[in-house]
A and B are shown apart, each in its own frame.
Chain A
Amino acid sequence: MPSIFLNDINVKFIVDAEMTKTIKSTVAQFLRPRKTTPRIVHALQSVSLSIRDGERVGLIGPNGAGKSTLLKVMARIYPQNGGEALIEGHVCPLFEFITGFEMEATGWDNIRTRALLLGISPKEIENKIEEIAEFTNLGEFLDMPVRCYSSGMLLRLAFATSTAVDPEILLLDEVMAAGDAAFIQQARKRMDHLMKRASIVVFATHSLNVLPSFCERTIWLDHGRVMLDGPTPEVISAYERSILIRQ
């Protein structure tokens, strides 16, 4: 059963790492120490939460609240400093669509590479590739290197491929669809399907109005801390009140 269990997770970034970024500067620092206390950003501070199979969870909060960092801990990209993170199930992080794209390679090649990276098996890819190609609506452009594509075409290709996965745990970070109006319609539908297929969805967003239709539960983060974790309407209204008060 896919599940996410985080207990007392802390993530710190050291901001002034430049002093020892190279061997040269490290030796210089050693020979003639310059007193600096490195600034540390606590991106997450003792975050504890658990997400069970079947849950759809929204993540909200201002910029720099730690939403992306939290997703990256769940995706096992960032290690935590202390605390424990137990993540069961195949995680599919969709933070952006374009990683793994090679401009010189053809559309077909890029579909295969990107799909492999997202954890689709080579056999499954062959089953799905027709459907992906059809959704991109790119026709014979798929035989050309993607450097010839317009940014809209590239987005179609990347989006179609990325949303072909069957993830157990789906992590989304402010996914916005660009492209022409017809594509946005199609894209939204496809995204809905994808979110329904996944056992667990965690979804970081700023668009509070779409959240209630996707997620029954929402977590509000601020300065790396969980401010509130509960049913979406409650959390959203609390969050909106806090914004009003600040203004």
Chain B
Amino acid sequence: MEQTTNRKVFEEVIQAARLWPIWLRIGLQDIRMRYRRSAVGVGWIFINLAIMIIAVGIVYGNLLGQELKEFLPFLTIGLISWGYITSSIVEGGNAFVISEGYIKQIGLPIYIYIFRFLVSITITMLISLPAYLVIAFIYSVQFGLGTLWALLGFVLLSIVSFLMIAIFSHLNARFRDASHIASVCLQVMFFITPIIWPPEVLRKRGIDWIIDFNPFYHLLEIVRRPLTMSEPATFINYIAVAIFIILLSMIAWMFTKRLSQRIAFLL
């Protein structure tokens, strides 16, 4: 089966983006549906996060001898950002599989289903964000102009989310176990990325490379540092994220080119 041209890939994405009333609506509907029939509704997002923060906060905070005042805000925003990345890969990976009915019955550009999941995953993340504000308030984290760098961080993070959904939705339509395998890898990444432990712990032992070669570390830093320290992340962090985004774009582009025409067959 033939591949599409670069131009067609580009047109496909633009066409899909233009249909924003559709993907915005279905994306928002996905969120409402997920929480509609439970008594606490969106509160589940907070309960999940709160349990995680309390459990990890107490155990790791004491294990690593951290001040809760600094550790809990660090942990909270880390967990929120990490959750955003993992759901992009694991849930977003199912974008086409779940949208099968739409794809096989209505010939809309398939990128609208990627945007659909971007909407629901991003909003779920935004809903959990006030949890950080609560923690930041309790431990009186200082906010300032530097905090605004977090906006850039979130924009870059959502670009990564978009690309992850694009990559894994295509991959998952082709190989059904792709996001399952990815989620196993993510479990490992969760422990070797400074989320539940601060990077300084490893730096003190001189094994910086474990952190520095991990793109997820840089990705977390561009959101975490402005929010916890009210200052931009390091230049290296931004460069690393930029390189990561370029790499992901190339992979996403390749998958789209090879697979997007055939998705209806693959499902």
Please tell me which one of the listed residues B25, B36, B104 contacts residue A113 in the complex, with CB atoms under 8 A apart: B25
Please tell me which one of the listed residues A26, A72, A79 contacts residue B261 in the complex, with CB atoms under 8 A apart: A79
- Check A21 against B175 for contact (C-beta < 8 Å): yes
Please tell me which one of the listed residues A77, A102, A118 contacts residue B33 in the complex, with CB atoms under 8 A apart: A102
Taken residue by residue from 82 to 96, chain A's Cβ proximity to chain B (1 for < 8 Å, 0 otherwise) reads as 100000000101011
- Check B107 against A77 for contact (C-beta < 8 Å): yes
- Check A93 against B177 for contact (C-beta < 8 Å): no
In whole angstroms, what is the CA distance A76 to B37 when docked?
36
* A122: interface (CB < 8 Å): yes
* B22: interface (CB < 8 Å): yes
Contact (A105, B33) CB under 8 Å given A78-B265, A99-B101, A116-B22: yes
* B264: interface (CB < 8 Å): yes
Report B-chain residues with C-beta under 8 Å of the C-beta of A75.
Answer: 106-107
* A109: interface (CB < 8 Å): yes
| Residue on B nearest A12 in the bound complex, by CB | B1
| Residue on A nearest B112 in the bound complex, by CB | A117
- Check A117 against B108 for contact (C-beta < 8 Å): yes
* B102: interface (CB < 8 Å): yes
* A5: interface (CB < 8 Å): no
Report A-chain residues with C-beta under 8 Å of the C-beta of B107.
Answer: 72, 75-77, 91, 93
- Check B181 against A112 for contact (C-beta < 8 Å): no
* A230: interface (CB < 8 Å): no
* B176: interface (CB < 8 Å): yes
- Check B21 against A122 for contact (C-beta < 8 Å): yes
Q: How far is the CB of A16 from chain B (nearest CB, A)?
A: 14
Q: How far is the CB of A5 from chain B (nearest CB, A)?
A: 17
* B48: interface (CB < 8 Å): no
Q: How far is the CB of A24 from chain B (nearest CB, A)?
A: 6
> How extensive is the interface on chain A, given as a class?
20 to 34
Contact (A23, B177) CB under 8 Å given A78-B265, A104-B37, A105-B29: yes
Q: How far is the CB of A105 from chain B (nearest CB, A)?
A: 6
- Check A78 against B264 for contact (C-beta < 8 Å): yes
Residues 96-116 (chain B) with a chain A CB within 8 angstroms: 101-108
- Check A112 against B264 for contact (C-beta < 8 Å): no
Residues 61-117 (chain B) with a chain A CB within 8 angstroms: 101-108
In whole angstroms, what is the CA distance A171 to B106 when docked?
11
Q: How far is the CB of A19 from chain B (nearest CB, A)?
A: 12
- Check A117 against B21 for contact (C-beta < 8 Å): no
Q: How far is the CB of B88 from chain A (nearest CB, A)?
A: 19
In whole angstroms, what is the CA distance A108 to B261 when docked?
33
Chain B positions near chain A (C-beta within 8 angstroms): 1-2, 21-22, 25-26, 29, 32-33, 36-37, 101-108, 175-178, 181, 261-262, 264-265
Return the 4 tightest CB-CB contacts between A and B, nearest first.
A75-B107, A22-B177, A79-B261, A76-B107
